[in-house]
Structure 1
């Protein structure tokens, strides 16, 4: 006990032995008592997150994208069109540049201690000579942290950069915390409102009546749901449970 106007001194000393960790790292997998996370050796992104309590796979294996995959959308050489009720606003360009991911992957263990453990993958991507992803699991928290770091080259072309999060949730709803309100991205929008991008405050809950996942972002508040589209979305249909974090343009 420390008195209200008192103090206490603590000393940090090197221990004689290393503390045990409940985090297990083996090759391209990391797991604790809550999750088993598997990385894809080709992209360096996540190919599977198995929830041991729910006994469910949380990553959509049918998606063309991996979980937390870097996506570079080269719209600078695309004929971009916004179409709404027969009106088209176009930016003329060359042929479609396409959407590219990462390559040149290496995977290694990160930290591992009594509080948390991590696994790190590094790769390269379009205009990104270094992409680093650190996945952190905690010994006693049912939570996964993704820390994305990148070196980005300058370009004056029009570009979009996303990270993909294809969740495996059937018949999902997307509940978003906005500034001063909580809404459903599927239901709580005016007909004339933009459904291509949403600016969230802190979190999105991707869920159905049985289970769900809460996704948060500290530094990238713009998200898209279901698909990435440069054409005006009249109605957002939940054909999948994918979330795309729009990190820069």
Structure 2
């Protein structure tokens, strides 16, 4: 309903949820910063890693106004190259930030003499080529879409040149007749791109792509565009196997059927398509539940298209619906394994992707929901393109997706501040199994009827790679007891866990099974 009187209420709930989650993140980051010692003589920075594995990635940090000195890693004593992104912000590569831990840096006075980390990082305006040590990316001067992503070390092209689409091409499909789903006969994509450098330094280069405006959602030739304007940024960081993309559209109100996509045609014949699901990876077709949709998939973090020689991974933190092989526009009414008696379900082999194209389903107004059909205004979609050698690796793909959705955080450290954790590089909890992640670390739940058998610290683990076997938790403090618990945090029968000292803290051995979620309770030693 276009003039829904409840729209303001519904929108406010989404806005409030966003504000609360942002506030919770900022409070947690600030609290962690307060727990870390500050440098003795100058301000500092702590980079925080909330994932279960050690990470090397780009971090953004706040520095004093117009600071331009030396950034020094307190663990190694070495200068770290950085790039200013504003009067009070810098970007730098934080190396080997420990799992569920932090790494600290000191902001010293003096000349920054750190060498540029990647001599291959460059942009050539004449050829439209963006490059670092891992990738050579070519951008079409006319359409602004990506025509090539060449993996240097693998000597492999990632973009399918035979596809009618280019990588990161915005595709709009309207149907003003209102009588059915959308079709390709009125399909529109922008052209006449203006390409410029948004930011260029020793750590990263960001290319900005803009298109002539289409006021009222109409192009000069009269075709519907669905947007007032559209644009994108493409970023390559130094020594980083990743192309970051941000697509921004200013949506117009449209009440007739419409769909919007971003195309990612990867070069891979007859690929194995695997995407992140709630409990782990899902192989398209073969591992879908009976009755599952075949047109679009709800992707958690990543979608991967692979063959024996390697593959490409598309990650996103905010655009979870994807279609594979071609734009389907709800072409498959029947679904394999339907629980009713319908006999119109498709042959499974007919729906297996024959090529590596992935289409991010950015928006549509075809479905009946309790939200307003036509919504307007600016919105940005984020993607990351990366590649790998060999076949699909569930643990590696999960890490890629989680890293995209959960960037490293940073917090300022005050001079002389005393916390409970020292300067340097320290993990507060780590695992020895790449396919197991830490979901939760929190105080145990308590209520008036709770059992004294509960232990004060709750940790929840999830296995995401389909592997059985024991997992060892490494904690930097003494643990006097550990036990398995159920999801309501009550102890399980015969659930006592082995705890031993390794000279640096405690090691707890936990039995894990493929795709299981395991809850355990710990009692840190009073000593």
**Equivalent in the alignment of 1:88:** none
Deviations 1:175-231 (A, max 9, x none): 111111311113223564311000011111111111011111111000000011231
Instruction: Kindly indicate whether residue 38 of structure 2 is the aligned counterpart of residue 7 of structure 1.
Output: yes
Q: Distance in 2 between matches of 1:30 and 1:158?
A: 37
2: distance between equivalents of 1:6 and 1:153?
50
The within-5 A match list for 1:211-222 is: 211-222=310-321
Match of 1:66 among 166, 181, 199: 166
**C-alpha distance in structure 2 between counterparts of 1:78 and 1:41, whole Å:** 35
Count of residue pairs brought into register by the alignment: 234
Where 1:132 maps in the other structure, the secondary structure is: strand
Q: Does 1:24 align with 2:78?
A: no
Q: Which protein shows a greater Rg? A: 2
Question: How far apart are 1:96 and its partner, in Å?
Answer: 7.0
Would you say 1:111 and 2:217 are equivalent positions?
Answer: no
> Is 1:168 the equivalent of 2:267?
yes
Per the alignment, residue 49 of structure 1 pairs with 149
Give the Cα separation in 2 of the matches to 1:244 and 1:179. 20
Corresponding residue for residue 154 of structure 1? 253
The more displaced of 187-196 and 205-214 is 187-196
Deviations 1:78-120 (A, max 9, x none): 6536xxxxxxxxxxx9x97521111231111121223211111
Q: 1:30 to 1:5 in 2, by over 3 A?
A: closer
What's the TM-score, normalizing by structure 2?
0.42
Q: Which residue of 2 aligns with 1:89?
A: none
Q: Contact between 2:173 and 2:184, CA under 8 Å: does it hold in 1?
A: no
Deviates more, 1:160-169 or 1:42-51: 42-51
Query: Greater shift after overlay, 185-194 or 11-20?
Result: 11-20
Q: CA deviation at 1:155?
A: 1.1
Distance 1:203 1:96, change over 3 A: closer
Q: Does 1:182 align with 2:213?
A: no
Q: Distance in 1 between matches of 2:36 and 2:233?
A: 42
Deviations 1:131-173, CA, capped at 9 Å, x for gaps: 1111111112111101111111111111100000000012211
Q: 1:157 to 1:36 in 2, by over 3 A?
A: same
Q: For each residue in 1:10-29, what CA deviation from the matched residue of structure 2 results, as whole angstroms up to 9, or x when unmatched?
A: 26423568974642111121
Which structure is higher in helix share? 2
1:205 aligns with 2:205: no
Assess, with a 3 A threshold, how the Cα gap between structure 1 residues 167 and 151 changes in structure 2: closer, same or farther.
Answer: same
The whole-number CA distance in structure 2 between the counterparts of 1:171 and 1:231 is 20
Q: Secondary structure at the match of 1:140?
A: coil
Alpha-carbon distance in 2 for matches of 1:77, 1:104 = 28
8 Å contact from structure 1 (residues 78, 97) kept in 2: no
Q: Which residue of 2 aligns with 1:75?
A: 175
Structure 1 gap segments, 5+ residues each: 82-92
* CA 1:112–1:154: 2 relative to 1, 3 Å: same
TM-score (normalised: structure 1)? 0.85
The alignment's C-alpha RMSD in Å is 2.4
Q: Work out the CA distance in 2 between the residues paired with 1:77 and 1:100.
A: 16
**For the Cα contact (< 8 Å) 2:178–2:256, is it kept in 1?**
no
Q: Which moved more, 1:40-49 or 1:65-74?
A: 40-49
The equivalent residue for 1:39 is 139
